[in-house]
Amino acid sequence: MLILDKPAGLAVHRGPRGGASLEDWLPALRQGKRHLPQPAHRLDADTAGCLALGRTKPAIAALNRLFAEGAARKTYWAVLVAAPPGDSGVCEAPLLKVSSAAAGWRMMVDAAGQSARTEWRVLGRAGALTAVELMPRTGRTHQLRAHMAHLGCPILGDARYGGGAGAMHLLARALVLPGIAAVQAPVPPHMREALARCGIS
């Protein structure tokens, strides 16, 4: 297995519009194995941090099982443009994918959607900016982004969900694969200033 520190701005999979993606680098990560390594989960293109890949078919199957069963534990750091309701809490709100010709697609809280649960706690504050730790207990598309927007505190730089322009301040900070590995990703350069303002070095 491999666990990479994926940079923000690099898609995991090649999209319909083309452009660079992690798939372009998989041959260089083969390292003598017969098959190309395969990601066991997804990170949004603009999210930096821990990404696990399997290098063999048994490893890929084992990783897929860990993620499917919820045994893999993921922790994210984010900077929000407003304060969440309290110092810690749980957002349990179902998410549904919606789209329109004008605005494209996004995830919305909707009773008809899939169940989604995010635990969160505040790490530090600086005026309206709030640094938080996010622990997703389900793995829905854009879950953290949609849940924070639903709480009224979008992620800084997340233009799709109301966080304004600029680089998205969301980091897949830590990944624990029980019995296999426990790793942390460093804070990327574009998040350092905002986190420092919130007292996180």
Contact by Cβ (8 Å): 153, 81: yes
Instruction: Quote the CA–CA distance of 182 and 99 in Å, as a whole number.
Output: 37
CA distance 170 to 190: 10
Give the separation between CA 26 and CA 46, rounded to whole angstroms: 19
Is-contact 105 98, C-beta < 8 A? yes
44 tagged catalytic: yes
The stretches of 82-161 forming alpha helices (DSSP H) are 143-150
Choosing from 44, 46, 87, 110, which is the catalytic residue?
Answer: 44
Residues identified as active-site: 44
